Structure 1
């Protein structure tokens, strides 16, 4: 038997239940993975609460990221074999597949090799964060050495990945955080500057840091009316990239009468992960950064799979800096 986290109704962390299920056989184009670690993401909280773009079909599992070892390979899968150490990237809908379990079935297209120097907990913390940052900064924003990049909600795993990625390409990361409690940790994580938005005027500080020019790119998971404040700090012909919806209010489109001419867009990592060629480039870029030491996933805290509800509560409290990872203990009789 395997263990799988499922839920039967929309609700809080208490709806998550760890159940015994039959070990499944992978179908065409699928693999089965013996999971060692699972990376948690805000999207999974939103999915559980019924406010994600993808709606659950009950009983539903959930989860986008994991690291482990391939146990079985379905028909039509090439380049992957039993015994391979791998990681799972978010390249599927949670209503079809999930990673919260001891043994999981996922599409082979969502599986990438795990570099030897990356342990399971780190591997489970890599792909959502670094591909999200890579797609926005490198492929869409075309950030160049010397460019200033404004990274909001910077203590998240994506924010920390964006700081490392900006430094990797020679850009200058400016991090934001609401309170002063995380300021030093963001500086220690590589931010060139940190703006505490509860205490400082964001556009004024951005203009001060950039000598009046503004940033090349603002990278924001919050959305809502706050994007108008971000727009005031963007350089002419710069980029405003919104990759989340933490603020459920309507997000206005900055207009040319009040702001510099800028490029405003939404973005999701599925633009990368569901395009084989773009995913290939992203994996090569991220693996090169991991190998060189430029990229080092920050794991804030780990929980056991039996503590999945508590792990979701911890994430919802917003006190973490970096990734929350769930580890999996296996019974050898499975």
Structure 2
């Protein structure tokens, strides 16, 4: 028996329950982990509410990433032994491979030996954020030195990862955030410029910063009306990568900016990377190199004990965090 978090109905954080369940041994090609820490992601709140891209049968577990030690190894798995420290690449389905529990089981290709310099909390906050940012900025947009990149929802874990990756390759990260409350923290973290959406004209500020039509890459988690000023400031032939939909408002298609500038507007899910073995290996190499050099370092917003998973989800939905929320077991 092991403690796991499940929900039996959709709703707010209060629907989460800690339950004791039997955990089967790992199947062929799988690794079982005794979890030390969990990294929380907004996708988990969406699945709990019933608004995620996956709607699993209930009751359901959830959770995308964890760090811990190898508990058991299934048949056909080489290169891992019980007791080794590992962390987890986000699976295609968190209902099929949930992270929230004392014991979690994953396909072996999603289990990584992370640098020993990372704490359990940091190791649990690596793969979702860095793979999401890497896939969009490096794999798809080919971000490079001298590029300007606009990063919305910049104080989120993925936004902070994008700032670090932009700096790692010599690009100029422009952070867009809801208010000015996190301006100084974002500048100290490495954003070259910070724009407060509540206080500033986004398109005008982008043109002041980068010059008219000099922004080639936009990495957006918001959608909604913000697409008009974003595309209005973009360079001819630029690419806007949409990976979220935080805005509750409709998202009008910026037809004339797209036509006049021959823009690419592209939806993106991290599963594009995790589901392709070659692209996933390239991503792992890039991220592990960044972690070992210190160019990439996860930011922990707040840590909660496992017993306070409901409180952790409430904080997740508060939008007050700067970095990743972690739950320790």
Q: What is the TM-score normalised by the length of structure 1?
A: 0.95
**2:312 alignment partner in structure 1:** 311
Listed one character per residue, the Cα deviations across residues 171-214 of structure 1 (whole Å, up to 9, x for unaligned) are: 00000111111000000110000001111111111111112233
Counterpart mapping for 1:40-189 below 5 A: 40-189=40-189
**2:274 alignment partner in structure 1:** 273
Given that 2:124 and 2:326 are in contact with CA atoms closer than 8 Å, whether structure 1 keeps it comes out as yes
Counterpart mapping for 1:251-290 below 5 A: 251-256=251-256, 260-290=261-291
* Inter-CA distance 10–263: structure 2 relative to 1 (3 Å threshold): same
| RMSD (CA atoms) | 1.3
Given that 2:257 and 2:263 are in contact with CA atoms closer than 8 Å, whether structure 1 keeps it comes out as no
Given that 1:56 and 1:94 are in contact with CA atoms closer than 8 Å, whether structure 2 keeps it comes out as no
Distance 2:123 2:2 in 1: 22
Distance 2:212 2:224 in 1: 25
- Structure 2, unaligned stretches of length 5 or more? none
- Structure 1, unaligned stretches of length 5 or more? 329-334
Distance 1:63 1:160 in 2: 20
Distance 2:257 2:309 in 1: 48
1:248 positional shift: 4.5
Distance 1:71 1:185 in 2: 39
Distance 1:10 1:183 in 2: 35
Distance 1:44 1:291 in 2: 28
1:249 positional shift: 4.2
Q: What is the TM-score normalised by the length of structure 2?
A: 0.97
Listed one character per residue, the Cα deviations across residues 268-323 of structure 1 (whole Å, up to 9, x for unaligned) are: 11100111111100010001001111111110100011000000000101000100
Given that 1:253 and 1:264 are in contact with CA atoms closer than 8 Å, whether structure 2 keeps it comes out as no
Provide the secondary structure at the position in 1 that maps to 2:125: coil
Distance 1:120 1:75 in 2: 27
**1:36 alignment partner in structure 2:** 36
Distance 1:247 1:208 in 2: 25
Distance 1:313 1:319 in 2: 10
Distance 1:145 1:31 in 2: 39
1:91 positional shift: 2.2
